[in-house]
């Protein structure tokens, strides 16, 4: 795997996992219908 591949992989994974965790935390902090 080239340096460019690693940079893309880490950026994409970091971005997606970060966004997902941020969303889950926000959702758990603002529940409704519970």
Partner 1 sequence: MSAGKEQWGTRIGLILAMAGNAVGLGNFLRFPVQAASNGGGAFMIPYFLSLILLGIPLMWIEWSLGRYGGVRGSGSTPGILDAIWKSRVAKYVGALGIFMPFVVMVYYTYVESWSLGFSLLSIFGAFPETGGIEEMTHFLRAYQGAEMHASGMFGNVDTGAFIFPGLAYGFFLVTLGANLWFLYRGLSGGIEKVALYGLPALFLFAIVLMVRVLTLGTPDPAIPENSIANGLGFIWNPDLSALSNPQVWLAAAGQIFFTLSLGMGSIHVYASYLSDKDDVALSGLSTSATNETAEVVMGGTIAIPAAVAFFGVAATTQLAAGGSYNLGFVTMPVIFQQLPLGDLFGALWFFLLFIAGITSSLAMGQVVLRFLADEFGMTRSRAVALLGAVVFLCTQPVVLFIEYAYMDELDFWAGTFGLFVFGAVEVILFAWVFGIDRGWSEIMKGADIRLPRIYKFVLAWITPLLMIVIFLAWTWLNAPSVLMMDGVPAENRPFVIGARLFMLVSLAGFFYLIRRAWRDKEGPRAQERERARAA
Residue that is written with structure tokens 């880490």 in the block? 10
Whole-number minimum distance, CB 17 to partner 1, in Å?
A: 6
Range 1-34, binding partner 1 (CB under 8 A)? 1-2, 4-6, 8-9, 12-13, 15-17, 19-20, 23-24, 26-28, 30-34
Decide: helix, strand or coil at residue 34: coil
What whole-number distance in Å separates Cα of residue 30 and Cα of residue 25?
9
> Positive or negative, the Cα torsion across 28, 18, 20, 1?
negative
Q: Rule CB under 8 A: which residues touch partner 1?
A: 1-2, 4-6, 8-9, 12-13, 15-17, 19-20, 23-24, 26-28, 30-34
């Amino acid at each position: 795997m080239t340096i460019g591949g690693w940079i893309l992989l880490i950026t994409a994974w970091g971005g997606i996992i970060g966004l997902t965790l941020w969303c889950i935390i926000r959702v758990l902090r603002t529940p409704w219908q519970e």
